[in-house]
Structure 1
Amino acid sequence: MTGRLSIVGTGPGNPNQTTPEALAAIAAAHVFFGYGPYLDRLTLRDDQRRVASDNREELSRAKDALHTAASGEQVCVVSGGDPGVFAMAAAVLEAMEAGPPAWRDLDLAIIPGVTAMLAVAARAGAPLGHDFCAISLSDNLKPWTVIESRLRAVAIAGLVIALYNPISKARPHQLGTAFAILREVLPWTTPVIFGRAAGRPDEAITIMTLAEADPGKADMATCVIIGSPETRLIERPGRSPLVYSPRSTGGPQ
């Protein structure tokens, strides 16, 4: 039997946001590799097996999945959100590049999903309506100095910024430092969206200005979106405000 490896994104956590293509790939697979809480979102049959691992073991997980697929199994690597955005697709390809030639011959499919910044943006309005970027604040795989320089560069360029992995017990101060850097460049009235668990029962969407932005509003389940100088807030009496970035721009301020 020829092995197959699918890498799927299940979306931000709301089952309705898992795509039909991802569901079909999950139904076709026999062995599932992923971070335990992501595998917990799946409803598996008796003939399907899960192999859970810690969220810091991406490369080891990728190697195990490739080895299992190369043995002839139908394998699925599971990510939350989109597998290509700070997730397992890059880890699998990194392992494949350094691994045996047989891994490159596998039937490989990468199935996209709804990533966190899209779910948060949809709940808040249309903050990604113009040019934007995504930056991970985790310095596990890149120096913090690189993160700082990128934050300054994209703020000067006038991009909306989506921050992934904004804060953790090991990195309690970095989000506050990021806000301080952005305040050097952006208007302090710039909208900031804290989107925690978007689409899930414990969802919390908080909107404040860059001047008010409080790192304590974030945890590892939060995606933070910082507007550009053009990003606007529409107040709605009795309703949550809407944040949007106009489709046209005059360039960096």
Structure 2
Amino acid sequence: MGVLPLQSRDSEGRLYIVGTGPGNLLQMTPRAFAALDEADCVIGNGFYLDLVRPMLAGKEVIRSSMGREVDRAEKALALARDRVVAMVSGGDAGVYGMASIVLEVAERSATAVPIEVIPGITAAVSAAARLGSPLSGDYVTMSLSDLLTPWEEIERRLDLAFRMRVPVVLYNPRSRGRPHNLDTAIEIASRHLPGETPVGVVRNAYREGEERLITTLGEFNDHITFVDMHSIVFVGGGETRIWRNETDARGIITPRGYHRKYVY
């Protein structure tokens, strides 16, 4: 296949799937701002709409709830036949976000609506910055939600990921409906990594109520209630370490490998 051009914008209607980043407007890309500004209709999960509320004045806003993703995709595509529509998705729309389901629905319906996916800062990257540099090289992201993926498959993937001894980022780590999935993930990590392996948690990254926790794999179970669905959990790899000062942990570092090549 040759190089594909960007979607034509000659038609009157179009759909933007906008990654809004971690939730602070300062973390949104200029392209995401421009798409929301251009749209006359914005649709999305109510939680993520609230995070971009200052951008919604004068626009039709259609709020949706968790579990209504297919309906939301169908509604957005129908509106975009003759309107400029923005579908908001927290973080990056292509990472555990709305991009895939919207594109799947568009594919199956053979729609001619022009669609543009606009990237955003995903939770792993934004939360990592709050911890220091835990993801300097190769790493794995995993979601502990078994709503769309069978738990047996998640366990298999977790085992393979921790065997690699690279940092692992856990999305959707702990909810009221599945409080024990994180316990199992930590137990699997402990099979392959020592107890002193750094573990970091960031809750509400770049949002009101932001908190962070730095601990170790061996001590993490003492802090597990700190984790909720607004949290991201980082389990370090074989070379990850905690950067400490005299009184506290300053952050988490996973060396990129410069120490093997340079003297510093």
Instruction: Give the TM-score band, short-chain normalised.
Output: over 0.9
Whole-Å separation in 2 of the counterparts to 1:23 and 1:90: 21
Give the corresponding residue for 1:45. Answer: 57
> CA-to-partner distance for each residue in 1:28-83, whole Å, 9 max, x for gaps?
0011110012111222232x10110102211111111011112x110100011111
Give the corresponding residue for 1:211. Answer: 218
Give the corresponding residue for 1:55. Answer: 66
Unaligned ranges ≥5, structure 1? none
Corresponding residue to 1:98 among 103, 108, 112? 108
Structure 2 counterpart of 1:237, one-letter code: E
TM-score (norm 1): 0.93
Corresponding residue to 2:237 among 222, 225, 228? 228
Deviation at 1:240, TM superposition (A): 3.8
* Identical residues among aligned pairs (%): 42
Change in Cα spacing, 1:76 to 1:68, as seen in structure 2 (3 Å) is same
Deviation at 1:96, TM superposition (A): 1.4
Whole-Å separation in 1 of the counterparts to 2:16 and 2:227: 32
Within 5 Å, which residues of 2 pair with 1:194-209?
194-209=201-216
1:35 counterpart = 2:52: no
Give the corresponding residue for 1:179. Answer: 186
Give the corresponding residue for 2:3. Answer: none
RMSD: 1.4
> CA-to-partner distance for each residue in 1:4-51, whole Å, 9 max, x for gaps?
1001111111221011110000000011110012111222232x1011
Q: Tell me the secondary structure at the aligned position of residue 200 of structure 1.
A: coil
Q: Tell me the secondary structure at the aligned position of residue 40 of structure 1.
A: helix
1:243 counterpart = 2:255: no
Deviation at 1:88, TM superposition (A): 0.6
Whole-Å separation in 1 of the counterparts to 2:246 and 2:32: 39
Whole-Å separation in 2 of the counterparts to 1:33 and 1:19: 19
Deviation at 1:194, TM superposition (A): 0.8
Structure 1 counterpart of 2:17, one-letter code: I
> CA-to-partner distance for each residue in 1:152-201, whole Å, 9 max, x for gaps?
10111122111111111110111011101110111111111111001122
Q: Tell me the secondary structure at the aligned position of residue 252 of structure 2.
A: strand
Whole-Å separation in 2 of the counterparts to 1:93 and 1:188: 42
Structure 1 counterpart of 2:241, one-letter code: R
Deviates more, 1:51-60 or 1:233-242: 233-242
Deviation at 1:238, TM superposition (A): 4.5
Give the corresponding residue for 1:87. Answer: 97
Deviates more, 1:86-95 or 1:236-245: 236-245
Whole-Å separation in 2 of the counterparts to 1:150 and 1:41: 32
Give the corresponding residue for 1:107. Answer: 114
Structure 1 counterpart of 2:76, one-letter code: A
> CA-to-partner distance for each residue in 1:192-245, whole Å, 9 max, x for gaps?
111100112200110110111132121000011111011111112355422111
Give the corresponding residue for 1:121. Answer: 128
Structure 1 counterpart of 2:40, one-letter code: H
Corresponding residue to 2:32 among 14, 22, 29? 22
Whole-Å separation in 2 of the counterparts to 1:238 and 1:181: 31
TM-score (norm 2): 0.89
Whole-Å separation in 1 of the counterparts to 2:23 and 2:237: 27
Give the corresponding residue for 1:64. Answer: 75
Whole-Å separation in 1 of the counterparts to 2:122 and 2:220: 23
Stretches (4+) displaced over 6 A: none
Deviates more, 1:133-142 or 1:210-219: 210-219
Whole-Å separation in 2 of the counterparts to 1:191 and 1:228: 8
1:188 counterpart = 2:199: no
Give the corresponding residue for 1:145. Answer: 152
Q: Tell me the secondary structure at the aligned position of residue 75 of structure 2.
A: helix
> CA-to-partner distance for each residue in 1:99-151, whole Å, 9 max, x for gaps?
2x2x2x22211111111111111011100001001111000011101111111
